[in-house]
């Protein structure tokens, strides 16, 4: 349980550091991840449309 807290704290610290030191890099990464999610949802919608038709 203690190792989980340490890893969570370390991940939070890295995220905050990246946000403060390189905000554009972090923003680009978030946009890329959201783009992947959008592409995946679009593919699911396209599949569902092809199943219904």
- Model pLDDT for residues 3-14, shown as the tens digit of each residue: 899 999 999 999
Q: How far, in Å, CA of 18 to CA of 41, rounded?
A: 28
Looking at residue 22, the DSSP 8-state letter turns out to be -
Q: How far, in Å, CA of 25 to CA of 30, rounded?
A: 9
CB atoms within 10 A of CB 26: 15
Its pTM surpasses 0.85: no
CB 15 within 8 A of CB 8: no
Structure confidence by residue, pLDDT tens digits, 44-53: 999 999 999 8
């Amino acid at each position: 349980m203690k190792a989980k807290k340490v890893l969570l704290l370390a991940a939070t610290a890295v995220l905050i550091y990246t946000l403060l030191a390189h905000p554009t890099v972090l923003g680009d990464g978030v946009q890329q991840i959201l783009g992947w999610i959008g592409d995946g949802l679009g593919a699911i919608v396209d599949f569902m449309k092809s199943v219904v038709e």
